[in-house]
Structure formats: structure tokens, C-alpha cells
Structure 1
Amino acid sequence: MPLDPTLASIHVALDADGRLEAFARGVDSTLQHIWQTSPNGDWSQWESLGGMIVTAPTVFRDGQARLEVFAPGIDSGVRHIRQTGTGGWSGWDDLGGKSLGGEVAVFQNAQGQLAAFVRGADNTLQYIWQTSPDGEWGGWKDLGGRLLSDPAVFQDADGRLQVFVRWADDALWHLGQSNANGGWGEWQSLGGVLAAGPAVFRDAEGCLEVFAHRSDDMLNPLWHIRQTSPDGGWGEWQSLGGDVLGVPAVLQDHWGRLVVLARGADSAVWEISKTDGAWGTWRSLGGQAAGDPVLGRSADGRLEAFYLGFDSAVWHTWQGADGGWRPGWVSRGGTIANF
């Protein structure tokens, strides 16, 4: 079976000093990055961090607030580069493993160690973790499964990591740690008939919420399923409507709203948000996106949105002081690879 299309292309994280930094795979297969020159300020020009990567990079901030970037290399092993204490970057490390070339999912566990997950070459979930916070990496572990998508991972309210995938039967399946100290439970199905991989975030009430497109609904709405209580069971699938495609971006903003952005069938970016437990309606933010949008949160809590355009440049917009989005999109340039 083919991989789900990996179209996000861009990943964004907040630097230790409050500057957003965006990462992407350039058309020359090197890691490219661009950053705010000051918190909430202007942006630099694109620069290369080298490497030879085959898909969009994933970035996560470690326990010392340094950014760490992960991506499969040309041999399908996972490559890794991190910020140093001087504000520069380390050389590339080879973490090994054998992925199918999709994106790496990364999160921090309850002990402060980063954990990375990939869809393995045999369609199982492969997992590696730091042996100590901000320390060295151990060996890869096979967590089983029959994956049809890259994994999505988030932390439950009690600190346990939860991984979500599109399974070989097209349903949403998840695997959770049996305790916050490390062990893993059994794979469980949450049903549905997914057309692509899921996205997950924890809402203001502490419940995980998963978003995905379903192939049994030809009208292109976005569906979601939510825990009924923090760390608890799961409710039923519900449609959020819309006419959108791909894998959505999900993040909570400064005002406590859970914000979802998705690429519309018209290639514009569309937004829907949840306030006080109630979902609003979809509205267009415009633009012409060739890839799925991504979200970052600025130093003052406002959300900033990015997408890869048909011109291979990165386009950008952001929330204002009142939580509304500025009209229109600004090009941040670049020559970014699409997938």
C-alpha cells in the first residue's frame, strides 16, 4: 500500500529565547530553516543546515529548551540535529532504524526524555527514546501494529504517551503507555474509515481529541473523536463539516481556543475553532496552499500559520492582539520541496 501523502512540508517550534523557527526540506534535500530575528518580530533569510533528508523534518524542544530536528535519511535511517548551548547547531547524528520514509513523530515523556516514532519498513511502529533527559539515545524497539500512515503522538493528562495511526483496516488505532514510567499496553481500535493519517491534540478540558478524514464520507468533511474524560474512554466519531483535505493542523491559542486549520478543496486555508467546549463554523483564511497548513505559537501566545505554496515558497499569516487573523498571507520565500 502507498504511503499517505506527506504534504505539510514545514514544521515550526518556539526557540528558547521566544523566537519562532521554521524548518523544511529544500529542493536539494537539505534541511532549510528560517527564524524570527526577535520574539514576535521580523524573519531572517533561509539558511541550510545540510544533511540529506527525504521528507519534511519534525522539530521538538527538549528539556533544556533547545530545538531538536528529526528526519529520515536517504537510507531510511533517522537523522537528527540539535541546537547547541552557544545558539549554533551540532553535526548530524544517525539514530539508525528503518522507516518507510515518512515523517518522524516526537514527544517528551513524563521523565523528560524525548521519544521518536516512525512507521517501520515492515509497517510496524518503531520507537526510540533518550536514556536520560537531554542525553544519549537507546536502541529501537518494535511496538507492532499494521500501519498505513505515519504515527501521531501526544501526552495524556496523566503523562502517558498515546500514539495514533491509520491501520491496515483503515480504522483509527491507538497504543498507549501502560504507565507514565515506560511500559506499553495493547493496540486498540477506535473505529472509523480513515482516508489519511490522524492529527491529535489535548483540549482545554484535558481530553485528547483526534482529527482525520474518513473515506466513507465523499463530501470532504473533517471528523473527530474525543476522550469522554481526561485519561478516560472515547466517545463517538462526529463530523465537523467543511470541504477540506489532507491532515489538519491543531493547536491551542492564547485565549484557550482549540484551533484547527485545514487545506480546502479550493486550495485555500480554512479554520474552525472550539471555545468553551463548543465548535464554531468554518471560515476561509484565503491563500493558495499546495500543502497542508501548519501552526506555531508565538512568544505572546498568538498562533502563526504557514503553508507551502504552488510557487515552492512558504507563506505566513498570524493572529492579532484580539485573536483574529490578519487579512492575507505574506511570502517568506524559500525553495521548498513538495511531496
Structure 2
Amino acid sequence: MNGDWFLRGRDGRLSVYLISGDAVVWRAERVPGGSWTAPQRLGGDLPLHPSAGIGQGHDGYAHLVAWRPTAEGESGLVHSTHFRPLLAALDWNPVGHPKKKGDRTGTPAVTVDAEGRAHVFVRNNGAGVHHLAQKEKGGWEPWLDLRGSKVQDGLAAVTGESGLVEVYAAVPDGMLRWSQQEPGARPVMQERLKAPVRPGTLRALATSSGSTTVFFTDTSGDLCAWRPGGEPVVLMPAAGPGPVAAIRCALDGHDCTLLAQRSASGRVAFAAYPTELESAGAWWTESGPRLPVDALVGLAEDADGRVVAATLSPSTGQLLLSRRKDEPGLALTAWQQV
């Protein structure tokens, strides 16, 4: 699942989304802080390929995009909206293919702008990026070719605090960035970072009114943070493979960025530092039991504004949660299976 698969809905309930066979399934809290539902198939019985992108708007609605087989050797993208965790999501709706027809080209990345419109980005078969946006009053705009070359799979899409949409892509010698200049505008390539970016490790987070911070692992194994217009900063060695989970939260009255990742030891590693102040330093602290190799790590805030960490194993379906205690620092409760 490309994006934040662990979300708080507009009614305060937490939910998780994962790929299971030929479907996307979800689970949700029955009441905030309470027991959880059993896994339920999302979007109807349409069979899907095993990858999807997810994004959430300020309204709390989750937008999901996945590939489905359409004919022998061909696929198309479909979209669903999940308005509230305990309600059934809309059925999957076809939204086309970047080149009108063909097979899968890349894992979709999804974000939602300030007007609640979903934006879909996908690597195309020419190793560039295509973009698809919802219209404000329903339906979809035409596909747009944003260009680019040698783009690796694993795009990171984000909506800044300004409400404008951005997307980042790893390329062999660095990273490309596209962003909107005004609401509803076509995202345009803004700058190119030259750095040894490891594909599949990008995570973008809005960290101030005018800035997005992109986290990535470089080819030497260091976790780095970059804000457009500046130079990347090495934070610390990455705890494990893949992208980090990242969230902004208040810790002891300070605006902090909290990171989490499945570590090489198999446990969850956490690190926090004052938002956009990487010079303060960060270091990993491990927590919880050893997890399956495919376990994902997510971060969210619950209905009471407490940080909640989740781990989810697609192979076993095991969901574990830990919440921040009401005490100084980042003290967490014991991990519980739900």
C-alpha cells in the first residue's frame, strides 16, 4: 500500500487498509478506542492486482486507487472513496490508463487537495509520470503527461499546508519534484535533487505552511531529510528497509516530527525531533516484539489526539497497536493485538 494506510476518520475512529489476495480490505474501530471490526473487502468484488495507493483529505475521506485486470496483458486503474470507517466504501470506479490501454505501469500514489479532489500519480511505461485529477463537481480531468525520465517506482505524493499538491520521484542520480503553483493547476517540475536516493524509500510530510520534508534512505543506508530549496541532511542510519512512517505531533508542548520503521532486528524503531530542526539530532529507540518480515508500520493520532502506532502483517493479518501514555516523552503502552 503506497501512502498512509493507518488513518483516523472524520468520526475519530481509526482504520487500517491492506492488500489481501486480489482485494483491498479494511478494519476499523467500532468506537474510538474500542474493539475492532473483522477485515472487510473494500469496493465490491472486482478483482485487483496486489498494489494500491491511498490518500486522505482534510475532510477525513480516504481515496484509494488500484490496478485491475481488464483483458489478457492489459490493466486499468480504479478509484474508490471511503467516507467513514464503519460505512462501506464506494464501489471501484474505472478511471482509465495513462496511455489509454496497456498493462500496469507503476504503483499509484494518491493525495487530496484542499478542495477535496483526489490526485493520482503513476509512473508510465516511458519511465515518466502521469497525473489524473478529480473535477470539483464530479468526474475526472484528462490524463496529463508530466514528463520526466528514468523514474523509479514508489512515488510519494503529498498536499502541503497551502493545499497545493506535490509529488516526488526517485531517479538514478537523485530525485524529481513536481508541484502546483495554484489550486487546480497542472503540477510542473520545479527542481531536481542530485543525491544517492534509494528507490522505494520516499516519504513526504507537510511540515510547515510553506514546506514539505521528504525522507529517504541514501545508497549508503543513511536516513536523510530534504526540503526543496535546500540540501539534504543526514539524520541517522535507517533502522530498516523501505520508507519510514512519519507524523507531526505535539510532544511535551513542542511541535515534533515522529518517525517509525521496522528495524533490522524485527522490532519497531521510533525517533523524534523538533519539526524542521534536524540539527537537534535524532536516534532510534526500539519497542515491541519481533515482527514478520513483511510487517508494515504506521502512525496516526486517535480521537483524543494521542499518538498511536500500528504494525500490520499482510501475510498473517496480525494487527498490533500501541498508544502514547499520559506522561512526559514518548512513553508507549504495551503492544496489543486487535
Give me the TM-score of the superposition, normalised by structure 1: 0.82
2:38 aligns with 45
In structure 1, distance between residues paired with 2:55 and 2:108: 11
Instruction: Report matched runs for 1:243-258 at 5 Å.
Output: 243-255=239-251, 256-258=255-257
The one-letter amino acid paired with 2:199 is A
1:60 aligns with 55
Of the three residues 298, 317, 321, the one matched with 2:321 is: 317
1:226 aligns with 227
1:89-145 alpha-carbon deviations (Å, 9 max, x no partner):
322201111574643222222443221111123222111111115x22222111111
Of the three residues 328, 331, 336, the one matched with 1:330 is: 336
1:249-283 alpha-carbon deviations (Å, 9 max, x no partner):
11112443211111212222211111263343211
Q: CA deviation at 1:310?
A: 8.0
Instruction: Report matched runs for 1:1-339 at 5 Å.
Output: 11-27=5-21, 29-49=22-42, 50-62=45-57, 65-74=60-69, 75-83=74-82, 87-98=87-98, 100=104, 102-132=106-136, 135-146=138-149, 147-167=151-171, 169-197=172-200, 198-203=202-207, 206-215=210-219, 217=220, 220-227=221-228, 233-255=229-251, 256-275=255-274, 277=277, 278-286=280-288, 287-291=290-294, 292-309=296-313, 312-322=316-326, 324-332=330-338
The one-letter amino acid paired with 1:156 is G
* 2:19–2:314 contact (8 Å) kept in structure 1: no
* 1:52–1:73 contact (8 Å) kept in structure 2: yes
In structure 2, distance between residues paired with 1:213 and 1:64: 31
The one-letter amino acid paired with 1:330 is Q
- Per the alignment, do residues 204 and 177 of structure 1 end up closer, same or farther by CA in structure 2, a change over 3 Å counting? closer
- Per the alignment, do residues 325 and 43 of structure 1 end up closer, same or farther by CA in structure 2, a change over 3 Å counting? farther
In structure 2, distance between residues paired with 1:311 and 1:181: 39
In structure 2, distance between residues paired with 1:101 and 1:289: 29
In structure 1, distance between residues paired with 2:59 and 2:313: 34
- Per the alignment, do residues 66 and 10 of structure 1 end up closer, same or farther by CA in structure 2, a change over 3 Å counting? closer
SS, match of residue 189 in structure 1: strand
* 1:224–1:240 contact (8 Å) kept in structure 2: no
* 2:235–2:282 contact (8 Å) kept in structure 1: no
Please, what is the CA RMSD of the aligned residues? 2.8
Q: Which has the higher contact order (CA 8 A, sep 6+)?
A: 1
Which consecutive residues of structure 1, in runs of 5 or more, have no partner in the other structure?
1-5, 228-232, 333-339
The percentage of aligned residue pairs carrying the same residue is 19
SS, match of residue 168 in structure 2: strand
SS, match of residue 136 in structure 1: coil
In structure 1, distance between residues paired with 2:258 and 2:157: 18
Q: CA deviation at 1:328?
A: 4.4
Q: How many residues align?
A: 315
In structure 2, distance between residues paired with 1:203 and 1:158: 11
Q: CA deviation at 1:59?
A: 3.2
Moved more, 75-84 or 56-65: 56-65
SS, match of residue 189 in structure 2: coil
- Per the alignment, do residues 42 and 279 of structure 1 end up closer, same or farther by CA in structure 2, a change over 3 Å counting? farther
Give me the TM-score of the superposition, normalised by structure 2: 0.82
